[in-house]
């Protein structure tokens, strides 16, 4: 089910569902495995026996993480191809997850009000054409006192201008960022990631003030945040992640419906 205003740019996720699945299954998205994924999961626990709705679930990576923790998971994405892949994985290795094709902007109207203990969105809210509509929908389907937990690129470091600087010996000196307050819509080309091909996805940047206003205006109060980073053991194993120990790349919000 798609909103009328979801134009072709947003539908790249459907066209590239197989590419995304290969990226996840190859372990190429190392930050979800080691940094933001564990950071987000920590704020979702305990999950045992809870009814959890996973928004923009893609091929179901985080939905399965929640189900393995004992949650009763319903997960949706507006991409039929993503949901087809997610359902195939469920058929191969059943975890009791119910997958739906649904637009996050319509979820608040179509799903039962006050019916979930937690709502999650792993790296998906900023990729939705109207994130505020999706957040309001998440709040509507949550029980009072329930949590909406979501991860995003860190607003303070994922700015429109972002450039690493090195000294003459090639040692990293620091990161230049600019245009934090010029938040808005942008596109990301995954060609330089492990995906390695021209795959351009649209997304939004918001300032921390804008995120907090969308939450506040949806009846959600910020409870805890996380800025996931590698610990010393992980750095010893994967020194390539060292910049993530210096500045935050990701942010996770745990909010509560008031």
Ligand X SMILES: C[S@@+](CC[C@H](N)C(=O)[O-])C[C@H]1O[C@@H](n2cnc3c(N)ncnc32)[C@H](O)[C@@H]1O
Q: Where along the sequence are the contacts to ligand X (CB under 6 A)? A: 10, 13, 24, 56-58, 61-62, 77-79, 82, 103-105, 122-124, 127-129
Cβ distance to ligand X smaller for residue 20 or 211: 20
Cβ distance to ligand X smaller for residue 193 or 235: 193
- Closest alpha carbon to 151 in 210, 226, 208, 201: 226
What φ, ψ does residue 171 adopt, rounded to 5°?
Answer: -80, 135
Residue 123 near residue 54 (C-beta atoms within 8 A): no
What is the CA 60 to chain-centroid distance, rounded?
12
Cβ distance to ligand X smaller for residue 41 or 244: 41
Cβ distance to ligand X smaller for residue 6 or 235: 6
In angstroms, the CA 65 to CA 211 distance is 26
Smallest gap from residue 105 Cβ to ligand X (A): 5
Q: Residue 45 to residues 15, 95, 254: CA-CA distances in angstroms?
A: 33, 17, 11
Smallest gap from residue 23 Cβ to ligand X (A): 9
Residue 97 near residue 64 (C-beta atoms within 8 A): yes
Tokens 């021209």 belong to which residue?
198
Cβ distance to ligand X smaller for residue 19 or 243: 19
Smallest gap from residue 9 Cβ to ligand X (A): 11
Axis crossing angle, helix 61-68 with helix 36-44, rounded to the nearest 10: 40
Residue closest to ligand X, measured at CB: 58
Smallest gap from residue 89 Cβ to ligand X (A): 12
Smallest gap from residue 175 Cβ to ligand X (A): 23
What φ, ψ does residue 33 adopt, rounded to 5°?
Answer: -75, -35
Cβ distance to ligand X smaller for residue 119 or 239: 119
Partnered with residue 100 across adjacent β-strands are 76
Smallest gap from residue 181 Cβ to ligand X (A): 24
Tokens 């390539």 belong to which residue?
240
């Amino acid at each position: 089910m798609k909103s009328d205003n979801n134009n072709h740019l947003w539908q790249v996720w459907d066209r590239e569902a197989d590419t995304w699945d290969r990226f996840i299954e190859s372990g190429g998205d190392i930050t979800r495995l080691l940094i933001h994924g564990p950071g987000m999961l920590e704020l979702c626990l305990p999950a045992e026996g809870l009814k959890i709705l996973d928004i923009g679930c893609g091929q179901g990576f985080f939905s399965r993480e929640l189900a393995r923790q004992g949650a009763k998971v319903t997960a949706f994405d507006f991409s039929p191809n993503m949901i087809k892949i997610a359902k195939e994985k469920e058929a191969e290795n059943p975890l009791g997850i119910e997958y739906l094709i649904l637009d996050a902007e319509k979820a608040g109207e179509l799903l039962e009000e006050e019916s979930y203990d937690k709502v999650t969105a792993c790296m998906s809210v900023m990729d939705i054409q109207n994130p505020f509509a999706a957040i309001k929908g998440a709040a509507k389907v949550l029980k009072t006192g329930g949590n909406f937990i979501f991860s995003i690129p860190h607003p303070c470091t994922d700015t429109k201008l972002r450039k690493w600087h090195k000294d003459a010996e090639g040692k990293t000196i620091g990161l230049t960022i600019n245009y934090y307050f010029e938040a808005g819509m942008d596109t990301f080309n995954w060609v330089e990631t492990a995906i390695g091909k021209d795959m351009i996805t649209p997304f939004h940047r918001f300032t921390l003030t804008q995120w907090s206003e969308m939450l506040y205006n949806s009846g959600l109060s910020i409870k805890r945040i996380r800025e996931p980073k590698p610990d010393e053991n992980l750095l010893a194993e994967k020194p390539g992640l060292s910049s993530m120990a210096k500045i935050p790349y990701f942010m996770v919000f745990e909010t509560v419906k008031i």
